[in-house]
Amino acid sequence: MDSKLRILELLSEREMTVSELSKELNLSKATVSHHIDSLLREGLVKVAREERIKNFIKKYYTVSIPNGEVGRQIVKSVKESIERRDRGELFRNIVRILGYALLKTSPYLFKRIGFEVGYALGVEGSTLDDLANLWEKLRLGSVSSSRTEFVVENCYFCSGLPNVGYPYCKFDEGFIAGFLAKSLRENVRVEETKCWGLGFELCEFKIKRV
């Protein structure tokens, strides 16, 4: 496993110092510090607390996923769904929390999981219209589609989230590709070109047969 991902895994379990991480991972303190600095810049970890020992400050780190405005929006949505006692909405919001964490740490793994789910749900001979019907049945958004595009409004995953400069819906890219690979029996490349994360109020996926 990549050292940065292992650090995130350890910090998701408890607060740790560079020295503790170094010992646990069998890496030098300089290497761990380099990874921590990188994760701090990416917003994936934060300083949880500090202890002063004589003239030395010991810093304990923890994960900070999700964070910022994205986290506030998701937590607000979860709170509202609990108040409405809407179990389906609560489930989708929990998926959003887990998905955002994975999106930040391993977006291609997130996409691959989506592919496997889509492939499992696909049926040979199905069409994009069948996928659109499934999408709406699962309450994932309102869909319009053509041979080369799949457009989703009111996306369950990213609707209302802020513009962060990159698309959120890696899982959905994989889901669409997996479903079509199973139904069409050919490789399909799917790329999200419009998303709330890119400043649009809808999601647009371009579909290309490979």
**Residue ranges of domains in the chain:** 3-63, 107-209
Is 60 in contact with 16 (CB distance < 8 Å)? yes
Q: Could you report the per-residue pLDDT of 99-127, keeping only the tens digit for each?
A: 777 776 677 778 877 888 888 888 899 99
Of the candidates 50, 44, 43, 41, the one whose C-alpha atom is nearest the C-alpha of residue 18 is: 50
User: Can you give the pLDDT of all 210 residues of the chain as single tens digits?
Assistant: 478 878 877 886 678 899 999 999 999 999 999 999 988 887 778 898 998 888 888 999 987 755 456 556 655 665 666 566 666 666 676 777 777 777 766 777 788 778 888 888 888 999 999 999 989 988 889 999 998 999 999 998 889 888 988 899 988 998 999 999 999 888 888 999 999 999 999 999 999 987
Domain 107-209 indexed as CATH 3.30.1380.20: yes
With H, G, I as helix, E, B as strand and everything else as coil, classify residue 207: strand
The first and second tokens of residue 127, run together, are 């069409």
CA distance 65 to 8: 10
Q: Could you report the per-residue pLDDT of 27-41, keeping only the tens digit for each?
A: 999 999 999 998 888
Q: Domain 3-63 is in which class? A: mainly alpha
Helix axes 68-83, 87-105, angle to 10 degrees: 160
Preceding omega of 66 cis (within 30 degrees of 0): yes
Q: Could you report the per-residue pLDDT of 84-94, keeping only the tens digit for each?
A: 666 666 667 67
